[in-house]
Each structure stands twice: as structure tokens, then as C-alpha cells.
Structure 1
Amino acid sequence: MGIVLGPNRYGKAETRLVRVVRDGETHHLKDLNVSVALSGEMTEVHLSGDNAAVLPTDTQKNTVFALARKHGIGSAEAFALLLARHFVTARPTVHRAVVTVEEYAWDRVPVTGHSFVRRGQEVRTARVLHEAGRTHVVSGLRDLTVLNSTASEFRGFVRDEYTTLAETGDRVLATDVRAEWRHRDADGDWESSYAETRRILLETFAGTYSRSLQQTLYTMGRRVLEERPELCEVRLAMPNKHHFAVDLEPFGLDNPGEIFFAADRPYGLIEGAVLRDDAPAADEEVWS
């Protein structure tokens, strides 16, 4: 029985990059977390320690900073594309690059043109896989916390000897949405596509009468694809942030759906993909 080297990659993870563009007294801020993973002719470095094909991870970090200075940062997707194409075209031993970008949003404090406040926990994401002959772009977001205080039920589920959960016809539905969506092509209006997809996700969550979180997840993904022709696949992960009505009878009080205990764990985790039946195939590596 032989032993061979399997799939492998290496890179520089989580390079923190902040770019300030100074437009007179008004400044503009981009705050990114960039990760690079490269693969190609890397057999010898694993088998014998020969580093002749290896682009140092420190060089990858420096490249992130240098290209940000030379070309600017238009959007997370555009910057990830720039980096991925650079690494594949500049180094003959690198055949594939996967670049992941997280973008942290800041809002301007109106007192000055140079003061900012971090906008909540929500993070914008972009992931690019580039190699000769093909490029995949996946946009997304995570930690988008949403809540419906009604219009959600959960009943008719399987029961066995370990089931204690009561059915409910009116419950709080809350989740931290992680959503990623794959583009058909490697060029587009990234800013408009992102803004509209985020809007559709929020409006669909708010406007769907939910009989299960799975139903809500599918409805959100389906509507994105119905309204955004540039996209071919949506993947969602949505934890069920349980809110349990508190029993106030011991204190001589009623609770008409007003007081809840917000439990952070354990939680149900609902995950799923929605895609067009003609969606081009993509490696799992393109998904973060």
C-alpha cells in the first residue's frame, strides 16, 4: 500500500488592513481582514523541505498592503479578485489562490469628518477562488441578528419518549444570519449586488410567516435567486436563538407573551443551500 500527499494549501491568515482615504477634511475608512490560501506545485516542500516553490506567507501579507496602496479598495470582492489574480499570475508555481475578505463597517460621527463608530457586529464577507480558466466569487455576510416577535409557530413535529418541547402557535423567532451567495460571473456591480441581496434577505425574513426556521431559510434563499439574476446559489446558516416565555405564576403574575428568557446555548442550527438547477459546478473550497 502506497502513501501519497493529498490536497494541500498554505497561506497568510487574517491580515488586518485599515485604509484611510483623506479627501480634505473628510476621511473615508475601509477596515478589512484578509486571508490568503495558495496551492500548486508544493509536493517537494512537503516531502523534502525544498522551499524553491514557496512564496513566503510574510510576502503574501506584504502584498496585501502593497496592492491596497497601489490600487485602492473599491469593494471586498474587487480587492479579493485583485489579490487572487496577482498570486496566480505572478508565481508560476502557484496554480490556485483562494482569498477571503471580511469587511467591518464604520459609520461617520457627524461632529467631524474624521471620527467613526463601529456599526454593530455584522460583517460583510467575500471569497474568491481563482485558477487558470476559471474564477468563482462568493459574497456574503455574517452576524446579521434579526428577530420577529410574532408570526412564527412550531408544531406538528415528531415526538418520542424524550420529547418535552410543547407545541406553540406564536413564538419569538430570532437568529444570527450567516449568508453567502455565489455569482455566475467574475465581474459585476459588487456594491449594488450586495446591498440588494442584503435587503432581500431582511425583507423576506420580516415578511415570511414562519412554520419552521427551515421554511424561512428556504424562502429567503429562493427570493434572492428570483430577484438577482447574477447569482446562482445561496447558502444560509441560521441558529435558532431561543426565547422561552418565563413562568411568572409563582409570583402571582401572568405572562401574556411579554417576558422571555433569551437562551444563548444550546441552540438549534439550521443550514441549507438554495440553487438554480443550471448553476455551474463549484468546488467546496470556494465556500468559507
Structure 2
Amino acid sequence: MKLLVTRKLTDAVEARVAREFDATFRNGAAPMSEEEAHQALADYDALLVTLGDKLSATAFADMPRAKIVANFGVGYNHIDVAAAQAKGLTVTNTPGAVTDATADIAVMLILMSARRASAGERFVRRGDWTGWTPTQFLGHHVSGKRVGIVGMGRIGTAIAKRCHYGFGMEVLFTKRTPLPDPGLPARQVEQDELLKSCDFVVVAVPASPATHHLIGAEEIAKMQSHAHLINIARGDIVDEAALIAALQENRIAGAGLDVYEREPYVPEALREMENVTLLPHLGTAALEVRDAMGHMAVDNLVAFRDGKEPPNRVSA
């Protein structure tokens, strides 16, 4: 099976890919464009793609040679799955492998935003620090506060457990369907109640047309003035312009972001503000995790090649 790997992967995963397939390693830092994706679908039997590769309906416009697209990552909003399925392609992803690492980043962003760690680190690096004082860089205490998880899936649940059992936080959450037993002390509420009553709001829903700008100006306006917004999901779930306006006007206390609406573009307004913590999409950036994600993607490809059901097929 002739396979295109669109981005550089870990050494262990690339070695396994080379053993299993007739593989071409594109190794570009930039995502595939729509035109490149269209050509790749015509030239290869299988694609191993990742975030940003533009597999739109246009990319699937002609009858492709490819029969499977294996996504490196749990989120697959860059792939038009309905268009792929209409052409007979199988699409897979890598759930589970990313859960703990992404939850860890969420907690890190809660702490960094609440305790003004990013601003303090820049202060030290500039050489501006002249010593400890009682009122310098006063932030917000995290322990015992109320956290709201928007989206109580695998990652949302892992975040909630860390917050409750690690910091004694009260947990509220939203979910499209009732969840009688979330596996920890937590209360399911409507989004409005969560936004109005939580000290920290963590966005953990998948990206989809239904969740585009789920958190916009109207939603941010409902948050408390001392609250912090954390996004570790996908950038376009939050209306970035509305968030910038709220932060500039100090209508919320701060934000911690690992994802952005038009990655890798990060607006200058965000980069200039002291009350926002910015990370370069680090959610799964640990060697063990990226190895696990890669091997899961290869497991899907191997199963498909061998005429078996891929363990992580997704559907539109």
C-alpha cells in the first residue's frame, strides 16, 4: 500500500511506517494545501495526515485513488468526513492517547492564568524584577474555586478529575446528553449557569459546525469579572475577536489559550496583553504521547490494509 505521511513524526513511528508500507515522507512543516491534498488523494492509496492539512470537499472532488485517511490526532475538523465517505474512503483518528496530556495542559493554563505566571516570567526575563514585595503580581487562588467544563468527554472528564481531586474545586459541566454518573462529584448544568457561576471556564468540546463560536461575545459577557477562560480544544470554538475585546476591557480577568482561531496566526492584540497566557498548541507535545498517537494511526492503517476493521474509524 502506497502511503503519504504529510508531516514529520517521531523516529519510532517513522521507523515502523517504513517497515510496514511503501511510504513517502513529505516532512514539511506547513500543512498540505487543498491543491496538494487533492493531488495526494490521486497519487496514494493511503494518507497519514494531521492538524491543518486541508482535506476539504474540494480535495475529494474527483474519484481518488486513496481508500483511507488516517488522522494523527483526535480532532479531525480539517477533514470533510462526509465528502470522504461519499467517495468510499475510510477516515480514522487517535482518541484516548491524547487525553491525559491535554488535560495536564488545561490545568497548567488554569494555574498560569490565575497566578499570572506568564506575565511574571516575562517580567523576570526583561530584568525588571527588583525583589519580592507583598503586593507584586497578585493573582487568584485556584484551590477550592469553581470550575466549569464545557464538554464532558474523555478530556473534559480528565480535567474535571484533576481539578476536583487535585485542588478541591467544585465542578460544573455541560454535555449535549445527560450524564448521570460523571465518575466524580460534579453537577451537569446549562451553559448559561456554568458561565455565570464559575471562576474558571474550560472549553473541551470537539470542533464542529455546531460548536463554531460556541463561546462568543454574548457568552463571555455572562462570565464573572474575576473569571478566566481556558481553551484547549479548537480555536474557532471561541470567537477570538470577542475574547480580545473582553480582555482589553477587563471584563474577565484573563485567558489561557493553547489553540487559536486561525492557527498559526495569533493576533497582535493577544500577544501584547499581559492578562492572557499563550501556548503554541502544546496539548499533546510529549514524546510518549506523540509516539502513542503515531502508533495508533499506524494501527488503523495496518488493520485496513489487512482487511480488518480499523479500531478508530470516525463517521460524519
Q: Please, what TM-score do these two structures have when normalized by structure 2?
A: 0.23
Higher strand proportion: 1
Q: Which has the larger radius of gyration?
A: 1
Higher helix proportion: 2
Q: Please, what TM-score do these two structures have when normalized by structure 1?
A: 0.25
